[in-house]
Amino acid sequence: MGMCWLHGGEEDRRAGFDDDGVEGQVMGGNDESSSSFPIGQTAQERGFSHVPECYKVQLSDRAGLDTKLADVPLINLDGICDPARRSIIVEEIANACRCNGFFQVVNHGISQPILDGALSTASDFFNLPIQDKAKFMSNDVHNPVRYGTSLKDGVDKVQFWRIFLKQYAHPLHDWIGLWPDTPPDYRQKMGEYAVAVQKLAVKIMEAITESLGLGPTYLTSKLDDGMQVLAVNCYPPCPQPELSLGLPPHSDYSCLTIVLQDSPGLQILDFEDKTWKAVPAMQGVLQVHVGDHLEVLSNGKYESAVHKVTLNSEKTRFSIVSLHSLGMDVKMEAAKELVDEDHPNGYRESSFRDFLNFISKNDIGEGSSFLNTLKI
């Protein structure tokens, strides 16, 4: 897989781009001493040989040299529709959500060619010349298709060693026309994965709501009508990976998050000992996270997973994160069945749009947490 850095040269200059391959009308000039870097001119896109100050995270958030592997529950979904086997799977998922906030799944029904195809076309997209990606560059978190690096490039106080393409994906026919049309197979391969992982998310959520005593179809219709956001991530090699992060510690706003990764880099905060644990990356295995809105729905019975992304100096890492939530303006609240005198409601209701409005005004790199605003 490529280094995921920008292409420059004479062809870019003829197309109206400067020597760094950056569109002059869109991007301002920045040198290596800058305190902040706009999209297209970030250190990771230009392949800096050092980590600028604005990328250095506080000591407590940095990747430790002695990080242990997480003991990740591995759940075999084969037979989830068989009543005899289903009860076992539901109990395994319940234990994982309650004790860990995350788990991995095998025999999930998405073929290896679909997984490989999505990762391959993601790599091809990030290796395109900058002019093919510039039209998607935006700091507006409300855009349905958005290329960027930090949350608000050139504005955030702390920047991260990542490049991403975020795109709405469900229902696919509403959004795929806005997706990149290069590389030529991008829409097909990423679309196949988007549809497959949406079906998987509904299947897993049905098991989760069943485990909460709410029944398997408690959220099915709302998820069918809800939002799916694909965050297609590229983490180029970092010359000093111990100083920076690909993403800071955070939890996901979603009900459920499903992660496809091609190599290690994801770390999870252990519920019990509050230490960071490295998540193994195994071919064909998908990582599932409890999101903030599932914590709200369960009235705190299942806590959302806090995680971060670490870097390496050797190779580019790719991941595709599928975030599943209710509709843009549909409010998630604690299930009334899970609220009583012994378990009073601990959360305010909120929607996906509420989350977008929050991150448009706050810097998660500085420790801002959407979930904290929901807790009563």
* pLDDT, one tens digit for every residue, the chain (376 residues): 444 433 333 333 223 323 333 332 233 334 455 577 887 888 999 999 999 999 999 888 888 766 889 999 999 999 999 999 999 999 999 999 999 999 999 999 999 999 999 999 999 999 999 889 989 998 888 899 999 986 655 566 788 999 999 999 999 999 999 999 999 999 999 999 999 999 999 999 999 999 999 999 999 999 999 999 999 999 999 999 999 999 999 999 999 999 999 999 999 999 889 999 999 999 999 999 999 999 999 999 999 999 999 999 999 999 999 999 999 999 999 999 999 999 999 999 999 999 989 888 876 655 568 888 889 9
Taking the CA atoms of residue 120, residue 356, residue 344 and residue 89 in that order, the dihedral angle to the nearest 10 degrees is -10
The number of beta carbons lying within 10 Å of the beta carbon of residue 115 is: 22
Pair of tokens at residue 50? 């050092």
Q: For residue 134, what pLDDT is reported?
A: 87
Pair of tokens at residue 369? 């947490």
Residue boundaries of the structural domains of the chain: 21-374
Q: For residue 5, what pLDDT is reported?
A: 39
Q: For residue 130, what pLDDT is reported?
A: 87
Q: How far apart are CA 73 and CA 105, in angstroms?
A: 8
* CATH superfamily of the 21-374 domain: B-lactam Antibiotic, Isopenicillin N Synthase; Chain (2.60.120.330)
Q: How far apart are CA 74 and CA 103, in angstroms?
A: 6
Return phi, psi of residue 23, to 5°: -70, 115
Q: For residue 24, what pLDDT is reported?
A: 29
